[in-house]
Structure 1
Amino acid sequence: MKVGIIGVGYVGASVAVSLLHGGVTRELLLHDRDAARAEGEAMDLAQGAPYYPRATVRAVDLDEVSRCDVVVFAAGRNGRPGESRLQLLADNFRVASEVGRVVGQHAGIIVAISNPVDVLTRVLQQSSGLPPERVFGTGTMLDTARLRQALAERLAVDSRSVHAQVLGEHGDSEIVQWSGAQVGGRPLRDWPGWTREDEQRLGHEVKRAAYEIIQRKGVTNHAIGLVTADLVRAIVRDEHRVLTVTRCHTGEGLDGVALSLPAIVGRNGATTVIPPSLDDDEAQALAHSAQVLRDAWSQLAPA
């Protein structure tokens, strides 16, 4: 399958490196409104060919990149220090609408990573006219990775042995599903020495992680690059993995809202959504997260 990236700033470039190192695609196409930047990135990446699995990298126009099997939307500006993801909405809404109209004519699957990723996923889905399972975003995959890494440090275990997830908005209203978290098959809440105070502290750390990085280096790009490559790999290889991606939902009080829930991801997109088992507090928090995103959408004039 052919993979394209729209927007090759810090984030798009990190996605490209991760895709190539992971051997995810044999043909990677790059597009940016700054054509010279896209050409420079393609040249730079292509010259590293001896050090990653065989692949070609080219800079192309929007029409050609839109014909890829998987198109990664990384366009728009990044967040500024102290700025919430939803504050990016006005600036990135127009870009997503324009790209969606073009890409929707040809693309197989659109993967959104630009922020605010939940609302922009909905913008891309509606402007492209593609079905919801074929337009989805990385959502809380990165938050989930941050959670697993934080828990691994706290419990002195490998992060791959931690099974826990973040749901809802990729932003300030996100929730951790503490009631379902497990380590080595044991419920986290049964772990010796674990307390609800730990949950509050680590949940806050995960929610604040991006802000802390942006204050220090101005952008978050490496981890989201790895996350996106992992998601695209699941599509290209038809892995049918369960991942916390954001896509538009129906039913369960979520009609039209795009937020992260576990979904089976493969060659046909994020198809089957798996409603998580939540306790009462978590269910209430997820409903609040949905309302935050609904309110953000109501401020727009959708294309």
Structure 2
Amino acid sequence: MRVGIIGVGHVGASVAVSVLQAGAARELLLHDRDGARAEGEAMDLAQGAPYYPRAKVRAVGLEEASRCDLVVFAAGRNGRPGESRLQLLADNFRVASEVGRLVGKHAGIVVAVSNPVDVLTRVLQQSSGLPPERVIGTGTMLDTARLRQALAVRLAVDSRSVHAQVLGEHGDSEIVQWSGAQVGGRPLRDWPGWTREDEQRLGHEVKRAAYEIIQRKGVTNHAIGFVTADLVRAILRDEHRVLTVTRCQTGGELDGLALSLPAIVGRNGATKVIPPALDDEEAAALQNSAQVLREAWAQLVPG
């Protein structure tokens, strides 16, 4: 399968490494507005070929990068210390619109990584004209990974034994579905010693994770690289996995809005959204998250 990555800054480069190590692509095409950077990354990655499943890596122009089975959108600037993801919107909107118009002519599926990922997923879907299920953002997959890791530390279990998810915006209004969280098949709220104070503390920790990393190193890139490679592999291998990705919703109160809900992901994209079973508090929080994203869109596209 042919995968293109548009934008190979810190995030795009980490995505490229993770995609190669996961064996998710037979050919990886890199594009960046700084052509020399893309060439350097391609050369560096190609020289590691003995240590990942067989794949070709090349730096290419924008149009060739868009002619792929799957295109990863990692272009635009990163967040600055103290800046929310939605504050990135004005700067990254134009780039997403331009790329969307091009990939809509050629790409099979588009995966959005750049922030604010929910709104940019909607921009890419509308500008490309692709069906909603074929324009997918990494959404709260990263937040869900952070939650599982934090819970694993708190409970002294392997993170793969934790089943919990974050929904809504990949940002400050995101929500944790505590009512459905399980560890080894046991409801988390029945776990010995678990308290609602734990929920408040860990929920805040997960929400603040990116800010804490950016304050220290200026960018978050490695974990999102792993997340994106996992999503790419699920799509290209038609795994039909349930993942918390963002896509434009169809029907009901969320119609047209891009935010993260569990969806079945495979070769045709995020084809079936699975409405989560939320308690009243979580349902209200999800509606609040949706409203935050509506307001961000209204500021971007008045009327």
Counterparts of residues 21-32 of structure 1 (less than 5 Å): 21-32=21-32
Q: What are the superposed Cα offsets for residues 207-248 of structure 1, whole Å, 9 maximum, x if unpaired?
A: 000000000000000000000000000011000000000000
1:17 partner letter:
V
Q: Note the residue ranges of structure 1 that are not aligned, 5 or more in a row.
A: none
Counterparts of residues 25-64 of structure 1 (less than 5 Å): 25-64=25-64
How high is the TM-score relative to the length of structure 1? 0.99
How many equivalent residue pairs?
A: 302
1:184 corresponds to:
184
- Report the Cα offset of residue 22 of structure 1: 1.1
Following the alignment from structure 2 to structure 1, what is the Cα–Cα distance between the partners of residues 175 and 295?
18
Q: Secondary structure at the match of 1:8?
A: coil
Q: Secondary structure at the match of 2:81?
A: coil
Q: Secondary structure at the match of 1:71?
A: strand
2:13 corresponds to:
13
Q: Note the residue ranges of structure 2 that are not aligned, 5 or more in a row.
A: none
Q: What are the superposed Cα offsets for residues 127-177 of structure 1, whole Å, 9 maximum, x if unpaired?
A: 000000000100000000000000000000000000000000000000000
- Report the Cα offset of residue 255 of structure 1: 1.1
- Report the Cα offset of residue 250 of structure 1: 1.9
1:87 corresponds to:
87
Following the alignment from structure 1 to structure 2, what is the Cα–Cα distance between the partners of residues 207 and 88?
17
Following the alignment from structure 2 to structure 1, what is the Cα–Cα distance between the partners of residues 130 and 26?
25
- Report the Cα offset of residue 180 of structure 1: 0.1
1:199 corresponds to:
199
- Report the Cα offset of residue 301 of structure 1: 3.0
1:233 corresponds to:
233
2:143 corresponds to:
143
Q: What are the superposed Cα offsets for residues 4-27 of structure 1, whole Å, 9 maximum, x if unpaired?
A: 100000000000000111111110
- Report the Cα offset of residue 82 of structure 1: 0.2
Counterparts of residues 91-170 of structure 1 (less than 5 Å): 91-170=91-170
Following the alignment from structure 2 to structure 1, what is the Cα–Cα distance between the partners of residues 109 and 170?
20
Following the alignment from structure 1 to structure 2, what is the Cα–Cα distance between the partners of residues 148 and 252?
30
2:22 partner letter:
G
Following the alignment from structure 1 to structure 2, what is the Cα–Cα distance between the partners of residues 21 and 110?
20
- Report the Cα offset of residue 252 of structure 1: 3.2
Q: Secondary structure at the match of 2:205?
A: helix
1:69 corresponds to:
69
- Report the Cα offset of residue 251 of structure 1: 2.4
Q: Please list every run of at least 4 consecutive aligned residues from structure 1 whose deviation after the TM superposition is greater than 3 angstroms.
A: none
Q: Secondary structure at the match of 2:272?
A: strand
Q: What are the superposed Cα offsets for residues 55-87 of structure 1, whole Å, 9 maximum, x if unpaired?
A: 100001111111100000000000000000000
Q: Secondary structure at the match of 2:262?
A: strand
Following the alignment from structure 1 to structure 2, what is the Cα–Cα distance between the partners of residues 41 and 109?
23
Q: RMSD in angstroms over aligned alpha carbons?
A: 0.7
Following the alignment from structure 1 to structure 2, what is the Cα–Cα distance between the partners of residues 101 and 21?
30
Following the alignment from structure 1 to structure 2, what is the Cα–Cα distance between the partners of residues 285 and 251?
20
- Report the Cα offset of residue 300 of structure 1: 1.2
Q: What are the superposed Cα offsets for residues 105-141 of structure 1, whole Å, 9 maximum, x if unpaired?
A: 0100000000000000000000000000000100000
1:10 partner letter:
H
How high is the TM-score relative to the length of structure 2? 0.99
1:220 corresponds to:
220
Q: Secondary structure at the match of 1:194?
A: coil
Q: Secondary structure at the match of 1:293?
A: helix
Q: Secondary structure at the match of 2:57?
A: strand
Percent identity over paired residues = 89
1:170 partner letter:
H
Q: Secondary structure at the match of 2:253?
A: coil
2:11 partner letter:
V
